[in-house]
Amino acid sequence: MSCLRELEGKMAHDHHFINQGLGLRRRVWVPGPVIVGAGPSGLAAAACLKDKGVPSIVLERSNCIASLWQFRTYDRLRLHLPKKFCELPLMPFPEDFPMYPSKQQFVEYLEAYAKRFGIKPVFEQEVESAGYDESVGLWRVKSVGLKGEEMEYVCRWLVVATGENAEAVVPDIKGIENFRGEVRHTAEYRSGSDFRGKKVLVVGCGNSGMEVSLDLCNHDAHPSLVVRNAVHVLPREMLGRSTFGLSMWLLKWLPIRLVDRFLLIMSWMIFGSTGSFGLDRPQVGPLELKSKTGKTPVLDVGTLAKIKSGHIKVHPSIQSVGHHSVQFANGRIENFDAIILATGYKSNTPSWLKEKDMFSQKDGMPRKPFPHGWKGERGLYAVGFTRRGLFGSSADAKRVSEDIENFWKAEFKPNISP
């Protein structure tokens, strides 16, 4: 620790320049944690820390908070879960917000949240590497700005909040490079109005794929949906309550398999057999599957009715793509004007985080399963990698801030109090 104190003494609030061959990288000592990412998770972590008197700095590659929500989601998006399960710590949603806030309302809420806790991220700072420097016992976080200006933040604690959805996943599909129509990931899809009258193939049947298909239908496009694997589709509400809320409540009293059985019976009563229109269910129930693999059930907002009525066609996996056509695994060939990849996102930590113990290099997620994935070694933390959405982000943010607070009080407070 003496080494840390020494460095702290030398660097506190100072900006230094270090020569790095061709250019100069500005170096800043940060007394509190550095948080990477100004999405809901990063904001929640910064707010909880602030509440405990621990200052932090938030680095964000984009030019605003919640860039996923502002730039990479479709217009009709609403929170999939009721607002009470999506609120960040210390500040509920406004009472006059609907049960499922729109994305604009969610962004408004996040902006008010950042304002309330005085969180001012450093924007346009993409973290390109972060590693632990054994020689001084500190993290070195290197970022680059839009104009190529380089910074190094040196800190005791590093909070990774870059999200499970940092980069779009684009699968290898045979022949897709030859397709003459438009190919777009859902990250670039805003509204079905761009596709009016067109035949559009949506690849992937998670929440995004199902909702984009519905949106296309509502804008007079002709969507088809590729369903490669078995999927659980549940009604968003049952018995007048949200399916998610009801499940959480039932889990307090009943084992997961019994709750799954209840959900499947209710779904069958509402939808009939989803298998009969091409959406086979997995062998394992929806909640058990979620807890074992992280695979989220689809909460239906009207897509199933359009599939049943034939307005959305369902196809098996793609075998190959031609100039204008797609051949499916059952041998069928159909022409399309556009392909939309609803093939999800992945974490980007393997590309910049040099520490290999806490995060897997394979999928960029913490190696330890929920609820143990938030804490690594030597002051490294993760917020928002639980596969449990905003609910998981809030739980992580609280744990991380409590843990850092203990160190902060023990090691730093006596040093900075008068």
Ligand X SMILES: Cc1cc2nc3c(=O)[nH]c(=O)nc-3n(C[C@H](O)[C@H](O)[C@H](O)COP(=O)(O)OP(=O)(O)OC[C@H]3O[C@@H](n4cnc5c(N)ncnc54)[C@H](O)[C@@H]3O)c2cc1C
Q: Which is nearer to ligand X, 159 or 263 (CB)?
A: 159
Binding residue for ligand X, selected from 142, 389, 395, 397, defined by CB under 6 A: 389
Q: Which is nearer to ligand X, 4 or 64 (CB)?
A: 64
Does 57 engage in binding with ligand X (CB under 6 A)? Answer: no
Binding residue for ligand X, selected from 4, 25, 52, 67, defined by CB under 6 A: 67
Q: Which is nearer to ligand X, 140 or 199 (CB)?
A: 140
Q: Which is nearer to ligand X, 180 or 362 (CB)?
A: 362
Stretch that binds ligand X, among 60-68, 250-258, 287-295, 404-412 (CB under 6 A): 60-68
Does 70 engage in binding with ligand X (CB under 6 A)? Answer: no
Mapping DSSP to helix (H, G, I), strand (E, B) and coil, where does residue 313 land?
strand
Does 127 engage in binding with ligand X (CB under 6 A)? Answer: yes
Stretch that binds ligand X, among 71-79, 257-265, 278-286, 365-373 (CB under 6 A): 71-79
Does 242 engage in binding with ligand X (CB under 6 A)? Answer: no
Does 243 engage in binding with ligand X (CB under 6 A)? Answer: no
Give the number of other Cβ atoms within 10 Å of residue 200's Cβ. 26
* Cβ 396 to ligand X shortest distance, Å: 9
Tokens of 392: 């998981």
CA distance 48 to 399: 9
Does 60 engage in binding with ligand X (CB under 6 A)? Answer: yes
Q: Which is nearer to ligand X, 199 or 399 (CB)?
A: 399
Give, to the nearest 10 degrees, the angle between helix 286-293 and helix 256-271: 130
Burial zone of 238 (CB within 10 Å; 0-12 exposed, 13-18 middle, 19+ buried): middle
Q: Which is nearer to ligand X, 62 or 242 (CB)?
A: 62
* Cβ 300 to ligand X shortest distance, Å: 14
Does 114 engage in binding with ligand X (CB under 6 A)? Answer: no
Residue in 200, 192, 202, 199 with CA at minimum distance from that of residue 227: 202
Site string for ligand X, 15-54 (x = CB under 6 A): ---------------------xxxxxxx------------
Site string for ligand X, 74-93 (x = CB under 6 A): ---x-xxx----x-------
CA distance 203 to 200: 10
CA distance 273 to 308: 11
Give, to the nearest 10 degrees, the angle between helix 103-116 and helix 40-51: 30
Q: Kindly report the CA angle at 416 between 415 and 418, in degrees rounded to 5?
A: 105
CA distance 177 to 184: 12
Burial zone of 42 (CB within 10 Å; 0-12 exposed, 13-18 middle, 19+ buried): buried
Question: Who's near 376: CB < 8 A, 6+ residues apart?
Answer: 355, 357, 358, 359, 366, 382
**Where along the sequence are the contacts to ligand X (CB under 6 A)?**
36-42, 59-62, 66-68, 73, 77, 79-81, 86, 126-127, 161-163, 165-166, 208, 348, 352, 384, 389-391, 393
